[in-house]
Chains A and B, each alone.
Chain A
Amino acid sequence: MANPNTNTCGKRFFRWGPRSDRRERAKDWGSSDSGRLICQEWSDEVKAVYDAERRVREIFDAPTKTQGSGIFLRSQADRLRPEFSVLADQWRNNTRHLSLVSKKITDPSYLRIIGMGKPALPLLLEVLRDKPSHWFAALRAVANFDPVNPEANPSEARKAWLDWGKSEGYID
């Protein structure tokens, strides 16, 4: 007589079966050829229904899962790149000699970049990497997040943002 605890069908049934009283029946099913067949068919049927529902759920969940992802944002950012480059250059030219970040970030070009929202995030990280400057306020605004230690100086803040951007897939 087959041991129900080592029977494949019995294990599958325990995995898929929703009610504890069916465990007893599984032992009987696993002890004979016809019982194993019935058990196998039932198990396959339950699994097929579950898998079908899971596939539907994945299709409907996909947009919300990918919206915040690096690949999705980077594709959106590419469309903003030309305008972003012009605004970033304007901001640098208009504010490069100001001594206060609080004044620099009120420049209309900077505010327009913040207005681009989260799709500007990969572009902000790129410009911070390539031409270090005080982009931290814009990054905080569009990411709604701040990975920077309060004790950090600008170079350390830059590193914290770039490390975070890489870990999230926003830049290489």
Chain B
Amino acid sequence: MPKSDIERDFPSLIGAAYDLSDEDFNYNCLAYALGDQKNWWEPPKGSGQYWPPGFSDDVSVKTVESIIRAHGFTVEVTDKKANPETDAIAIYAEGNDWTHFAKFSSGLWSSKLGEGHDVEGVALENLEGPIYGTITKILRRPKRRRVS
């Protein structure tokens, strides 16, 4: 898919410097944010979808936040404009339901767009709009304690 198709859905990416991976329908943005590039994370489990055991079969922000926290992203970031101090995951939502995720790693925000490309080097607000709604929460990993 050319960049122009992506920018049709996300006009604020026009003129931005970002990189694209190949398209892959095996995983979605939640899987990507959690480091899994083999599964499509969405409830309910089955028919090609994965959902971790022990969590409610719903797409609420509350449920997905508990999944993200279980993966070690336990500190809520209050300043959404500044880059987090450690690896982080941003949750996009409409109302109480999540719509999308982006991850912060190695100093860059990146994201998986639906069944399509990973985009790297985007700003979080580039992806806000009618498709993904707005950023509702950012969770980061705690800082490692220095060993003296």
Contact = CB atoms under 8 A, between A and B. Distances in A.
A34 interface: no
B120 to A, nearest CB: 16
B26 A136 contact: no
Interface in B39-68: 39-40, 42, 45-50, 59
A136 B48 contact: yes
Interface residues of B, number: 32
B25, B39, B112: residue with the most chain A Cβ atoms closer than 10 Å: B25
Interface string B1-24: 100011001100000000000000
B115 A96 contact: yes
A137 B10 CA distance: 27
B119 to A, nearest CB: 10
A150 to B, nearest CB: 4
A99 B48 contact: no
B52 to A, nearest CB: 13
B38 A146 contact: no
Nearest to B10: A97
B35 to A, nearest CB: 15
B30 A99 contact: yes
Contacts of A137: 47
A153 B50 contact: yes
Nearest to B30: A99
B131 A154 contact: no
A100 interface: yes
Nearest to B1: A96
A97 B131 contact: yes
Interface in B104-118: 112-116
Interface residues of A, number: 25
A95 B114 contact: yes
B42 A100 contact: yes
Given A133-B115, A153-B39, A154-B40, A99 B28 contact: yes
Given A132-B25, A134-B48, A101 B40 contact: yes
Given A99-B100, A132-B25, A155-B26, A150 B39 contact: no
Contacts of B131: 97-98
B113 A136 contact: no
A148 B48 CA distance: 7
Interface in A57-81: none
Given A101-B49, A132-B25, 10 more contacts: A96-B114, A97-B113, A98-B131, A99-B42, A100-B99, A102-B59, A134-B40, A152-B47, A153-B38, A158-B48
| 8 A-B pairs closest in CB distance | A157-B48, A97-B114, A154-B48, A150-B46, A97-B113, A136-B47, A99-B29, A154-B26
Interface of B: 1, 5-6, 9-10, 25-26, 28-30, 38-40, 42, 45-50, 59, 98-101, 112-116, 131-132
